[in-house]
Structure 1
Amino acid sequence: MTRLWGALCLLALAGCSGQGSGGSGIGPLAADNWVTPGGDVGKSHYSTLTDINRETVGKLGLAWSADLGTNRGLEATPVVIDGVMYTSGVAGRVYAFEAATGKALWAFEPQVDMQVNRTVCCDMVNRGVAVARGKVYVTALDGWMYALDQKSGAVVWKADTVVDRRKGDSSTGAPEVASDVVIIGNAGAEYDTRGCVSAFDLETGELKWRFFTVPRDPKLGPQESPDLDAALKTWDPNSRWDVGGGGTPWDAINYDPETGLVLVGTGNGGPYAVSKGSPKGGDNLYIGSIVALDAKTGRLKWHYQETPGDNWDFTSTQPMILTRLKVDGEERPVILHAPKNGFLYVLDRRDGKLLRANALVRMNWANGVDMKTGRPRLTPEHSDYTSGPKIVFPSSPGARNWHPAAYDPQSGLYIGTVQDLGNAIYMTPGQKPHARKALNNDASLLFTSDLQAVLPTLPPPLRDAIAARPEMAWVKQNPGSTELRAIDPLTGRTVWARKMAGWQDRGGALATAGGLVFQGGVDGHFRAFDKKTGKLLKDIATGSSILAAPMTYRVDGIQYVAVMAAWGGGGYPYVPPYSAAYKRGNQGRLLVFKLGGGAVPLPPALPPLEVAPEAPKQAAGVTPATIAQGMGIFFGNCGLCHSNQPRSITPDLRRMSEGTHVAFKQIVLGGLLTPNGMPLWDDRLSEKEVEAVHAYLIDLQAKTRAEELEKQKRGLPLDTPGLTILSNY
């Protein structure tokens, strides 16, 4: 933004039974039970069940569903153990259901400090739970980890995962159980956060160890471990330690029982560009890396940095898959990893040795990876934006992101969504002061999907510099697209691909021994494809946007397929017109299918848009300078959540009612809507600044109304793009 080791051990870990035979070489693959959000310990998102297969999938229909009472993003993949389903929802809510019937058993609602919303770039999401030793583990959005009784949902213990609550930490990932501890990382690299991963005792919640992913200011004294002493040599001693350094491990954490290592993907640097965060440059360890930690001590065993000196928000937090592959004639324990930066890596899990690195998309930040050194071959002439705007491929949303891929051991294919997109990126001038619990990334992005339309609205020097870039030929050829692909991980070759609805359409995947790949789309369709060819075999209209990865399980001899459904995640206020959320709203649901099931009830279509209400008169003394000031404050603080789009899942502030205008100051400074998730801004914005923001929004509402009246007069839909929308990117 500116923006799984044998069967006995696994059973003891998850407290479950019913795992199928066969496996990935690291443990049994999912069968009746689905014991982690990735299905097995290796997170392969693959099932050995075959009742639902190429011949029978045509009979798939809805078994049951649950309304989860939210219009925010749902990204978790449920866990099923011995007929009970456990899943997480918005901000760390947890639900337990009878997996065959959908009967609710219990629910848990954490008491989240909604001030955390100010430091959450990508919605109030949560990616799942861990289940072990009779407990369900979840971390809430504000960084509190809970151990819940597996039978009742009662809190057994609660632990604070945040080191410094004066900073912008949050938490959105699923905890990971590693022997006697449960592990979680923090989020918030764009804010003022220092990345860390923390391990807590499964029984008591006591902190056992913590690994920081970036060093701290050496002026504060010795680093917490020798691993950080080594990292410090790769940073400028005069780095922007005040803004934390980033590196937050917000998703990819895998325990490898074969090696006893915890494998952690780390986040981007903060701020970016490196020239501002670490002025003298450097690799900036351990950002953009996989770090392998001893599960008992938290000490570093090896690391592999995928994006040294990250300038582009190229996180390595995307899901990892642990399996075994024959590489160059030798069977090896490997990690399959496709981070944001556009490469698909194959690494040896034992020592991090690079075995393969293949490009998946157009890229110009590097032209390959040196297989001897493991380092990318950088191309600063195309990607160093410190000397002026550049168009960088891939974009900051990444060639891959959090949406889980599947690994099919039958074919050896890696199956997941791949996004081909770039962004124009440029720095804002000068060094900015530390903004506590606020954005500190100090670079601006324009996605190539919008670039040709937005370009005419930019100031001439910026417009001309971007328009002159040679990458504009790429933009005109393909401004942005996403495909579901089956990829040979050793060569990077795409075996088959299915084009998706648009670049924001990036659902997680499930592969099965029944010859199928399942995936949901943001267009509201749940689809089953032939695993060998990618041929569409079943298409179910659900009316709900789907981003999360599906999973499958069996109870009393009946196989089910389940998926969480709701639009959300990065860019969540910008609801794409081709999405079900745009047409039918964003009713968060859990959908469960079986053979012989029924049709999915569709949420009702949204009513037609109405012309924006008349704006109130400006207060005395408001000038164009006041409005310009308010616009700057709005986009520096409010624009990440409030998109000024008519179908946004957060309020469209161009359509405020008279009552909202009257209460505006009380909402922003008085906490009137804090229970609804609107945080307080009284520590950052003055009364005069809030008045300026209000003046800008009044002006914007008046312009929007005038434009929409003109559209209505011409018989055009009110959501036809116009300059009002384009000017607010």
Structure 2
Amino acid sequence: MRCAAVLLALGIIASVAGAGTVVVDDRILADEDNGRDWAGYGRTFSEQRHSPLRQIDTQNIRRLGLAWSLELETPGNVATAPLEVDGVIYFGVGLSVIHAVDARTGKLLWRYDPETAKAAGAKLRLAWGIRGIAFWNGKVYSGTQDGRLIAVDANSGALVWSVMTVDKNDRRYITGAPRVFDGKVIIGHGGADFGPVRGYVTAYDAESGRQLWRFHTVPGNPADGFESPAMEMAAKTWTGQWWKFGGGGTVWNAMSYDPELKRVYLGTGNGAPWNHKLRSPGGGDNLFLCSIVALDAETGAYLWHYQTNPGESWDFNSTMDMVLATLSIDGRPRRVLLHAPKNGFFYVIDRDNGKLISAEKIVKATWAERIDLASGRPVEAAGVRYENGEALIWPGPFGAHNWQPMAYNPAAGLVYIPVRDMPGYYNDKGIDPATYSNGPGSRNTNGINISSSDIPIDAGHSFLLAWDPLRQREAWRVPTPGLWNGGVLTTAGNLVFQGHAGGKLVAYDARDGRELWSYSLGVGTIAPPISYAVDGRQYISILAGWTGGTVLLGSLSAQHGWVGRAYPRRLLTFVLDGRAQLPASPPPAPPLPVDDPDFVIDAAKARDGAALYRACALCHGMGAVAGGYIPDLRASTVPLSKEAFERVVRGGALLERGMPVFGELSDEDLEALRHYLRERARASHPDAAAPDP
């Protein structure tokens, strides 16, 4: 009994339980004090990403060592927040390939592949895979890029049910984590960057997959009637024929369930298109874009909203974490929601009524002077809506804080946020509102002129920020490599863990930001770590792999040297006094462009190829400079051969590895792409002649 009491004090157990006895339900997901399992995306409903475990602390962190590692064969995305339930780690990698691994040994127990590449069609072009999963009553839930929500048996890996949540031929897809509560599982989708998409969230019965309710986040065509009074209200904030453009507002990442108030909070995204002047030419706030929306969890009925960016024009999503906490404000406890969206402000919002309590800048943010606390609205700076055709503002569309989750430590009273400092250039010169379309065939689905040029390594930087939400001020910050670093974990041992683009997992003192420990993962990492306990020992686990949104950023991401498929994708688990050895991995190195000196580049074809390449940049990188796992086409031999290039791009030879099929491209299009890639390879080849002075 004395041993059990000690473990209870350390936050490792809540009671003595044997294997297979944990039933993940509302009680487990609402329990902030039991750190035995990590059963939800943010561990508990609060999404705090805080573990009450304190066996590993600031005094013994230097004893932390590798317990085991598992090399992953599945190609593609490695950005998932893992789950751990009853000694088993669950995660998805690649195109929603779900794995179950023994947390004690690292042995793979089962693997389920939903064969997304075969089902996704053109949707395979729109994203990189999965960021999170959910667990409820013996089942693992995941979205897929083609739009399915699947439930898999946690013991066997067998499919229990599958439902299609979107239209098979629309531009919607799923990369975000489902959330579960009260026998329900909810899921949103992405797609507002790629065409006329209208956002919604759907709740399903967790046991059967039967649809229970659906909430649209923006209104549709008034002539078709409104699904709810909320949509009728929202329509009054739109002008023109917005429904032809979809509207956007997708819930592609964060959702939070409030067990105290029986509510679901949705974080909504940008407009479709981004350009407010095109989708809503007469102005208007365009509800519920870039908002937090509170719904009744049982019925999906609208309760309240808070909009961070009325009339959004910059891709300033509010789909980032919504952390639930209780803060003492003016001498009384208040239930609050903590939120750091893309726009560079940190918000404290009253969960009971949606009223803004406070908001302050956490990074350079030039688009607004401040947030007016009386109205809750931003006081925008002059010219930021590119009224004269262009604007340079901070932050840009990658955001001050993106999807990599932050963490909140209640004891320290601090929020730890992976933030970045990078501007955005917005230009809509030459775009005619009378003829603009973001429909099928459009090469400008966002309504602004987006360059596909390479992004230089000095275009932005990042840091880990500790923020005091009560006093709305910085506590400390530490610089982090490059721009794109991992999600955060904090523990009762006064520790903060984060994976870095440079290839390390780092532990900081939660109170002052001192680096206390680091470990080389063998590859850059953006996935968030988790902590849990098995057999009385505290563990830290993280998925390591350099992919996800990193691949888009060209030289800004490629600077870390993790480009290409040679670098590992692995699951690592740490414990005090761990002695396992990590398999060697190739050192980081830049890709070496290849050239065919006999290939004569046609400048006109290369220009045409540059325009076509915009559809490739999402994966192969801006300016044909790959930033991550996806091959760098300047260094690939495939474009050297007309026949090989056709087999891959139009014939689907690498479909199983995640390369989409572009069947609509003509022979002339393929040749133009080859000329563009040869031009880019030759310009960046180490033997390229220097330009004339």
TM-score of the pair, normalised by structure 2: 0.89
* Match for residue 33 of structure 1 among 23, 34, 37: 37
Shift of residue 228, structure 1, vs aligned partner = 0.9
Matched residue, 1:299? 301
Local SS of the residue matching 1:570: helix
Q: Which amino acid aligns with 1:440?
A: T
- The equivalences for 1:236-251 within 5 A come to 236-239=239-242, 241-251=243-253
Hey, what's the Cα distance between the residues in 2 that align with 1:253 and 1:236? 28
Query: CA 1:29–1:270 in 2, change beyond 3 Å: closer, same or farther?
Result: farther
Deviation digits for residues 410-469 of structure 1 (CA, Å, limit 9, x no counterpart)? 021111212122122212522433342876112245799957x9xxxxxxxxxxxxxxxx
1:524 maps to 2:526:
no
Matched residue, 2:193? 190
- The equivalences for 1:89-488 within 5 A come to 89-113=93-117, 116=120, 118-119=122-123, 123-162=127-166, 164-192=167-195, 193-219=197-223, 221-239=224-242, 241-381=243-383, 383-431=384-432, 432-436=436-440, 440-444=445-449, 480-488=460-468
Which runs of 5 or more residues in structure 1 are unaligned?
A: 1-6, 454-477, 712-721, 724-729
Shift of residue 138, structure 1, vs aligned partner = 0.9
Deviation digits for residues 8-49 of structure 1 (CA, Å, limit 9, x no counterpart)? 9xxxx98249999xx9xx642451111112111111111111
Matched residue, 2:548? 569
1:509 maps to 2:488:
yes
Hey, what's the Cα distance between the residues in 2 that align with 1:120 and 1:321? 31
Q: Quick check: 2:22–2:86 contact (8 Å CA) kept in 1?
A: no
Hey, what's the Cα distance between the residues in 2 that align with 1:395 and 1:261? 32
Larger deviation, residues 687-696 vs 558-567 = 687-696
- The equivalences for 1:7-46 within 5 A come to 15-16=23-24, 27-46=31-50
1:494 maps to 2:474:
yes
Q: Which amino acid aligns with 1:612?
A: V
Q: How many residues are matched?
A: 663
Shift of residue 544, structure 1, vs aligned partner = 1.5
Deviation digits for residues 517-551 of structure 1 (CA, Å, limit 9, x no counterpart)? 11111101111111111111111112121111111
1:651 maps to 2:670:
no
Hey, what's the Cα distance between the residues in 2 that align with 1:403 and 1:102? 25
The CA RMSD measured in Å over matched residues stands at: 2.9
Q: Quick check: 1:53–1:514 contact (8 Å CA) kept in 2?
A: yes
Query: CA 1:195–1:584 in 2, change beyond 3 Å: closer, same or farther?
Result: closer
Matched residue, 1:470? none
Q: Quick check: 1:34–1:79 contact (8 Å CA) kept in 2?
A: yes
Q: Which amino acid aligns with 2:190?
A: A
Query: CA 1:353–1:309 in 2, change beyond 3 Å: closer, same or farther?
Result: same
Query: CA 1:121–1:335 in 2, change beyond 3 Å: closer, same or farther?
Result: farther
Shift of residue 92, structure 1, vs aligned partner = 1.2
Matched residue, 1:716? none
Q: Quick check: 1:542–1:601 contact (8 Å CA) kept in 2?
A: no
Query: CA 1:609–1:171 in 2, change beyond 3 Å: closer, same or farther?
Result: closer
Shift of residue 663, structure 1, vs aligned partner = 2.9
Matched residue, 2:620? 642
Local SS of the residue matching 1:654: coil
Shift of residue 561, structure 1, vs aligned partner = 0.4
Identity across the alignment (%): 37
Deviation digits for residues 248-300 of structure 1 (CA, Å, limit 9, x no counterpart)? 10111111111111111001111121001211121111110011111121111
- The equivalences for 1:631-710 within 5 A come to 631-635=610-614, 637-643=615-621, 644-645=624-625, 648-657=628-637, 660-683=641-664, 685-704=665-684, 707-710=685-688
Shift of residue 608, structure 1, vs aligned partner = 7.5
Larger deviation, residues 663-672 vs 559-568 = 663-672
Deviation digits for residues 277-328 of structure 1 (CA, Å, limit 9, x no counterpart)? 2111211111100111111211111111111111000000001111111122
* Match for residue 541 of structure 1 among 502, 506, 520: 520
Query: CA 1:611–1:271 in 2, change beyond 3 Å: closer, same or farther?
Result: closer
Local SS of the residue matching 1:385: coil
Deviation digits for residues 383-435 of structure 1 (CA, Å, limit 9, x no counterpart)? 12141221111111111111111111102111121212212221252243334
Query: CA 1:218–1:15 in 2, change beyond 3 Å: closer, same or farther?
Result: same
Local SS of the residue matching 1:169: coil
Q: Quick check: 1:325–1:332 contact (8 Å CA) kept in 2?
A: yes
Hey, what's the Cα distance between the residues in 1 that align with 2:539 and 2:79? 19
Hey, what's the Cα distance between the residues in 1 that align with 2:652 and 2:564? 31
* Match for residue 601 of structure 1 among 565, 569, 583: 583
Hey, what's the Cα distance between the residues in 2 that align with 1:447 and 1:44? 37
Shift of residue 606, structure 1, vs aligned partner = 5.8
Q: Which amino acid aligns with 1:671?
A: G
Hey, what's the Cα distance between the residues in 1 that align with 2:441 and 2:550? 19
Local SS of the residue matching 2:299: coil
Shift of residue 670, structure 1, vs aligned partner = 2.9
Local SS of the residue matching 2:687: helix
Which runs of 5 or more residues in structure 2 are unaligned?
A: 1-13, 16-20
Query: CA 1:626–1:235 in 2, change beyond 3 Å: closer, same or farther?
Result: same
Q: Quick check: 2:318–2:341 contact (8 Å CA) kept in 1?
A: yes
Query: CA 1:547–1:496 in 2, change beyond 3 Å: closer, same or farther?
Result: same
Larger deviation, residues 575-584 vs 332-341 = 575-584
Local SS of the residue matching 2:116: coil
Q: Quick check: 1:501–1:578 contact (8 Å CA) kept in 2?
A: no
Query: CA 1:351–1:223 in 2, change beyond 3 Å: closer, same or farther?
Result: same
Hey, what's the Cα distance between the residues in 1 that align with 2:673 and 2:119? 20
Hey, what's the Cα distance between the residues in 2 that align with 1:38 and 1:281? 37
Q: Quick check: 2:263–2:297 contact (8 Å CA) kept in 1?
A: yes
TM-score of the pair, normalised by structure 1: 0.85
Q: Quick check: 2:390–2:425 contact (8 Å CA) kept in 1?
A: yes
Q: Which amino acid aligns with 2:391?
A: K
Q: Quick check: 1:404–1:509 contact (8 Å CA) kept in 2?
A: yes
Matched residue, 1:474? none
Q: Quick check: 2:187–2:202 contact (8 Å CA) kept in 1?
A: yes
Hey, what's the Cα distance between the residues in 2 that align with 1:231 and 1:592? 47
Local SS of the residue matching 1:663: helix
Q: Quick check: 1:482–1:502 contact (8 Å CA) kept in 2?
A: yes
Hey, what's the Cα distance between the residues in 2 that align with 1:157 and 1:527? 39
Query: CA 1:434–1:533 in 2, change beyond 3 Å: closer, same or farther?
Result: closer
Larger deviation, residues 654-663 vs 311-320 = 654-663
* Match for residue 554 of structure 1 among 522, 530, 533: 533
Query: CA 1:77–1:518 in 2, change beyond 3 Å: closer, same or farther?
Result: same
Shift of residue 617, structure 1, vs aligned partner = 3.9
Local SS of the residue matching 1:653: coil
Query: CA 1:248–1:121 in 2, change beyond 3 Å: closer, same or farther?
Result: farther
Matched residue, 1:59? 63
Local SS of the residue matching 1:632: helix
